[in-house]
Chain A
């Protein structure tokens, strides 16, 4: 199993809503990532979890709140988002602490904030 599964695939939410994006992998990877990708732009790193602890936060606004409840799951809690937060949100995982390792990406959640 080399899959990273993200749910939902599509999400439309209002600016006052609270929603969560979910990501799951069963490859035994201990590093998990959230990326944000706007149209025709490369993915931008948001957060990195290593061994279930937040190791990198790329100065992401607090309306995005990550959570890693266990080694297979990664959540991104959303609250009071803005229309400019509409984007494709990608989750990825890799083996932690190794230099030669690829990151496997999920298919993403396409988020629209109205």
Chain B
């Protein structure tokens, strides 16, 4: 089965750092994606982790611990345009099945 959990909502201040956590229990786990989705738009790819550790990409970093079934997305120097939903998604089942978590709605305030 698949179970992927994230906080429902978070609020952070412009210019600050925010960490969005994701815990997962997935059979046949291969790796973990993070996607950003603005209201009414399609999800856009942010990162993909397959090995344990931190991967940094500009203002966004993503961390994975396979043994703990845990990941987080770190957003630095927050901007107002970062207000969106952030979805973690587990890849399993022969590299084909992408199952999304519940999503975290982030609101960035001035």
Contact = CB atoms under 8 A, between A and B. Distances in A.
Interface residues of A, number: 26
Contact of A100 (B48, B93, B96): B48
B45 A42 contact: no
Interface stretch (A12-20, A68-76, A77-85, A102-110): A102-110
A105 B100 CA distance: 13
Contacts of B99: 45
A107 B100 contact: no
Interface of B: 30-31, 33, 41-45, 48, 50, 87, 89, 91, 93-103
A31 B98 CA distance: 12
A55 B41 contact: no
B97 A48 contact: yes
Given A42-B102, A107-B41, A102 B31 contact: no
B96 A98 contact: no
Nearest to B6: A42
B100 to A, nearest CB: 4
